[in-house]
Every structure is written in structure tokens, then in C-alpha cells.
Amino acid sequence: MINLFWLGFQNIFQINVLSVIFAGTFFGIVFGAIPGLTATMGVALLLPFTFKMDPITGIALLIAIYIGGISGGLVSATLLRMPGTPASVATTFDGYPMAKKGRPGKALGIGIFSSFIGGISTAFGLAFLAPIVAKFSLKFGFFEYFSLGIFALTIVVTLSKGGMVKGLLSGFFGLLISMFGAAPIDMASRFNFGIKAMKGGFSLLPVLIGLFAVSKILSEVGISSNLLVPRVDPKDIYPPLSFFKKEWVNFIRSTLIGFFIGTLPGVGASVANIISYGQAKSASKHPEKFGTGCEEGIVASETANNAVTGGAIIPLITMGIPGDSVTAILLGGLMIHGLHPGPLLFKYNSDIVYSIFASVFIANIFMFITMLIGIRIFISLLKISKEYLLPIIMVTCIIGSFALNNRMFDVWTLIIFGVIGFMLEKNNFPFPPIILGIVLEPIIETNLRQGLMASNGSFLPIITQPISLIFIIIALLFIISQFTFKKNKHISL
Amino acid sequence: MKVNNNKIYSMIIVFIITFLYFSNENLKVASYDLLGSKYFPRIICIIIFLLSIILFFKKEGKEGKEGKEGKEIQKKSYKRIILFVIFILLYLIALEYGSIFIYSTFIFLVLSFLILSNYEYKQLPQFIIISFISTYSIYYIFKNILKIFFP
């Protein structure tokens, strides 16, 4: 295993790969820092440009953007009370009040150090736990994967922010999108309406860029921006040693929460930062200080959202199940490079797996350095007017989608899903269930149909196979607990 | 009278899903396995149909608190959004029918800057310069560095 780690670091420690990771981290931070642009969007936008790269460089670039994007959100969350990414929502609760009190540098500094601690700790967790999970997942057959897909699909319940009905509709809409084009096994072309380009279905990437990026661009077109950025004192950025002694329990707790939530398919950093914040508040001796510029709140949010990154990569590479929307695109990235995430990836492409681990380490270190040095640049980027930024991003989205297959059909897909996404967002239909549906449909359908062929048409293995049964039970318990919780909290379904 | 958005969305979804359901039923497939390729789309269409009916009868406003806390698009901004979408569509049609990328992108950017700035004609020279630089920068980076084909 040590040899494999060494091999992974050797692959990454090449000037071209390191440059790409550095550029990706920088690009990711910029995307994270600009409100409306997210890590998901950054990864989706740059995915087509990895086609020409070798798999290790391409995947390292995407991971660097992911880590940079999650981290960069703290800049606008702290300075503008606008979460640059959904992962930084809880950072606004205390980061902004602290900045408003005249300590924006301190708030940013705490956020940067917390992001680094969360990110680097989770990289260790990823490196040591992923091989164990991979060995376990080798025992998975068709029915186990089917049940895992069903379990992952139940996460839709927690992701249904705009109400349960809309969340479920979004999830099933995602499943339906995935059914356009060639079906598994018999390759029957579903819903092609006689259009030749539709026979293969929608490409994942234009759908994702459309839903996440184009819809957001359209929303941002209609919003007048607030570009008030407070002055940052660079000396204030470095927290004293006593701060780390005081907050070490918070760091560990938030890292564990982030890492664990990351490993759950489909949940992600946007949930982790809020849960971690809530836990920090309930464990604090001074919960009344939360929301007024409290250090603990920033630590909890920023440590947890970065800790998600390593956790989310575990189900991605060991089972091919994405932990959040960014890893869903990363999954697409791996597949585009001819890699099929799952236990066999460890067996046949261990060099790539350990290079992924190494790139998580390096990207976290680069993120930390870049954030500390480049904080002034990122702040100045927030001052760029949206009237220039949005049309230019739109053009890059179009080029990126065209580059996928060199056909205009993908560009039209991009725009259509952008408009659909805009309409759905406007009426509070949540997006994460759509992504979950899109990526889980092939897993569920293919494995059930293949499983039934293997079992001569018997559904019984779903409950007679122990691992499959466990997933089904967990899924049922999860749904019951969520409904009970919501009932207790008097939230309308 | 304020129209309930849930009802509108529900009716649109029901219409589309009914169309997709019958489109799926008319699909000719070979039966290699127990379920076949029509099974999953059929189930999903039925579930979406039922959920849409529930959505139709749901009152608006009880849900989506988080969404409403976010930035709300003002009604006057819709005109700007629609115009922006029209420009995107014209830009794509131009690209589809063989216009040169640099020219169409330059025009698209200038017009978009103009809409998004609320028609600040005084800034037009600035928009032209930024569009020119942006178009050539994008073209150079994508074509020469990233070796990407253009529409």
C-alpha cells in the first residue's frame, strides 16, 4: 500500500500535473468566491477540457477545482453575506457579523485555516478508508448495487428543500432524463422522437451545465448585485496558537461530521456545513454568541464543508456512487477517461486511484497557500461587474458543451436544460435530487434487469442477499426517520 | 387574480408526462429480460403523474421557505432575462448556420453587456473594447492552448 501511495505521489509530482492542480485550485477558489458560481459549475465547465489530458492530469484538475471551489465560498460568505457556494451558507451566520464588526481579516483567516484542517484530515481518512470500503464493495453483485441505488435514492427525502412533493418530482425527473436514449441490455432507443441525435440520449455534461450554470446565469441576469467589500487587514488573517488549542474539539467534531456526511451518497457539503454548525452550537458553552461573529461557528462550517470532499470521493471511487453533485460530475469525468469507478478500479487502475488520493493532499495544500497569498486578488474579483462576467461565462459554457461531441445538439441541450432549470429553481424545485436521479437511474435499472436475468426472474435475492437486505432496511429506516423527524418539526410535506 | 404556480407547473408536467407515457408504450422492444426497456419509463411516468396531481392540490407558500429567503427576481428583470435568452438563441442559430464564431460572439457580447447594464449607451465604446478582447482571448485560449473545435 505504501508503494502505491508513493506511486500516486510520483504521478502527481510532475511539473505539468502540479501546474494543472495549482491552476485548478485557483480557478476553483475564484468560482467559489463569486456568488452564483459554484464548485459544481467550475468542475462542469472545465470537464470538456480534460478530454485531451491524460486521465491522471484530467482527474487531478477536476479534484483541484472541487477543493478550491468548496473553499473559495467563504470569501463572499464572509465579506458580502452571500455564500459563494451552498457549502458556505453557515459561514455567513458568523463570518459576516465578524467582518461587519471590523474583523474581516480574522474571519477569513479562521475560515482558511479551518478549511485546510478539514480538507487535509479528510485526505488522510480517504487514503486509509477507501481501500477497506473497496474490498467490501467487491462482494457486491447486481442486487446489492440495485439496493444501494435505492438507498442512495432515498437521500432525495433530505434534499427536498422546496417541499417533499417537489423534491420527489425533481428526483423522478432526473431518473426520467437518464432514460432518454439507448436503454441498457437491449439498447432500445427510448424517447428519441425520430431525432437522430436523440438516439443516444442526452449527454450528461450539457444537462449538468444547463441545470446548474445556465439556470444560475439567467437568475443572476435578473438580480442587481451588491458589491460592497470591506477592507481586509492582512495581519489579522493569521489566528494565534491559542485559537487552535481552544478549538481542537470543534475541529475534530466538524471534520468527522463532514467526512461522514461526505460518504453518504447525494448529501454533500451544503448539508454538512449546516449540521456541523448546529452541532457546534449545541455543544458550545456560549450558544448565545452564535450568529454574532463567533469563531466557533466559522470553524464548524468551514471545517465540515472541506471535510466533505475526501468523504465524498470514497463512494465515488469504491462504488461509483457520487457523494454530492460535484462528485457526480467527477464520476462523468472518470467515465469519459474510460475509467469505471468501483472495486475493480482499485484492482486494475490502482495508479490512478492513488494519484487521486495524492491530488487531494496536494490540492488542499495549494488551496491553503493560494487562499493566504491571493486573498486580495479574490476580493478584487468580487468587484468585477456581473454585466461583463455573465455573458462571457455563457460563451464558455457553449464552447464547452460543443467540445464534448463537436455537435450543436449538445449546445441546444445546454440551453433547454438551462431554461428548464431556471423555471424549476424559480418555483423552488430542488436541483440535487435531479442530479441524484440522473446518476442513479443507470445503476438501478441496469443492475435490477441484469440481476433478474441471473436469478431467472426472481426478485427474492433483493431480500435474501444479506448486503442487499441491509441496504433496503437502512433505506426504509431512513425514510421512516425522516418522516418522523419532519412530523415532529411540523414541516409540511 | 393570482395564479397558483403549483397548478401551472402541475398541468405542464401532466401534459408532458402523458405524451412521454404513450410515446414509451409505442416503443418496439425485444424482450431479452423479464422487465424490458419499457418497464422503468412506464413506472416513472406513472409516479410523476401522481405526484403532479398532488402538486396541483398543494397550496403555494407553505413550502420553499429557504428558496424565498434567497434572491428574488424582480418582475421588471424578467424582460431583461427574456431578451438575454432571445440573444442566446439568435447566437446559437447564427452558429448553427455557419456564421463565423468570432463575429457572432463579438456581437452577442456587446448586446448582452448592453442589456445587463440597463442600456448604458455611454459605455458602448467600453463594451466594444471588452467584447473584442474577450472574444479574441477566448478564441486564442480554446483554439490554440486547449485545442478545442469551435461551432
Residue to test with chain A: of B63, B77, B86, B97, most A Cβ within 10 A: B63
Mean pLDDT of A40-47: 80
Q: Which domain holds residue A485?
A: 2-492
B45 contacts on A by Cβ (under 8 Å): 176
* Residue with the larger pLDDT of the pair A231 and A342: A342
Is it the case that residue A264 has pLDDT exceeding 90? no
Contacts 24+ apart (CB under 8 A), B11-20: B11/B56, B13/A169, B13/B48, B13/B52, B13/B55, B14/B49, B14/B52, B14/B53, B14/B56, B17/B45, B17/B48, B17/B49, B17/B52, B18/B49, B20/A176, B20/A191, B20/B45
Q: Using CA coordinates, name the residue in chain B closest to A448.
A: B35
Compute the nearest-CA separation of A95 from chain B (Å): 18
Q: Do B58 and A445 touch (CB under 8 A)?
A: no
Touching check for B69 and chain A: CB below 8 Å?
no
CA dist., res. A449 & res. A457, Å (int): 9
Q: Both ends of chain A: CA-CA distance in Å?
A: 48
CB neighbour list of residue A476: distance below 8 Å, 6 or more residues apart: none
CA dist., res. B121 & res. A337, Å (int): 47
CA dist., res. A354 & res. A345, Å (int): 11
Give A334-382 pLDDT, tens digit per residue: 887 888 887 778 778 888 888 888 999 999 999 999 988 877 776 666 6
Touching check for A218 and chain B: CB below 8 Å?
yes
CA dist., res. A50 & res. B147, Å (int): 11
Touching check for A49 and chain B: CB below 8 Å?
yes
Is it the case that residue A466 has pLDDT exceeding 60? yes
Specify the residue for cell string 465540515: A304
Touching check for B105 and chain A: CB below 8 Å?
yes
What interface predicted TM-score (ipTM) does this complex get?
Answer: 0.88
* Residue with the larger pLDDT of the pair B49 and A136: B49
Residues 27-66 of B with CB under 8 A from A: 27-30, 32-38, 40-41, 44-45, 47-48, 51-52, 54-55, 58, 62-64, 66
Predicted pLDDT of residue A413? 93
Q: Using CA coordinates, name the residue in chain A closest to B76.
A: A222
Mean pLDDT of A380-404: 78
Residues 96-155 of A with CB under 8 A from B: none
Q: Do B148 and A399 touch (CB under 8 A)?
A: yes
CA dist., res. A146 & res. A111, Å (int): 40
Touching check for B89 and chain A: CB below 8 Å?
yes
Mean pLDDT of A275-293: 81
3-class SS string, A183-251: CCCCCCEECCCCCHHHHHCCCHHHHHHHHHHHHHHHHHHCCCCCCCCCCCCHHHHCCCHHHHHHHHHHH
Mean pLDDT of chain A: 81
Joined grid coordinates for residue A196: 437522430
Compute the nearest-CA separation of A413 from chain B (Å): 12
Give A6-43 pLDDT, tens digit per residue: 888 888 888 988 999 999 998 888 877 765 566 777 88
Touching check for A434 and chain B: CB below 8 Å?
no
- In terms of phi and psi (left: phi > 0; alpha: psi -120 to 50; beta: otherwise), the region of B61 is left
Q: Are A299 and A283 in contact (CB under 8 A)?
A: no
B73 contacts on A by Cβ (under 8 Å): 219, 222-223, 426
* Residue with the larger pLDDT of the pair A138 and A290: A290
Q: Within 13 Å and on the Cβ side, how many CA atoms surround A488?
A: 6
Touching check for A194 and chain B: CB below 8 Å?
no
| Domains contained in chain A, number | 1
Q: Give the global pTM.
A: 0.71
Q: Using CA coordinates, name the residue in chain B closest to A405.
A: B149
Q: Do A166 and B20 touch (CB under 8 A)?
A: no
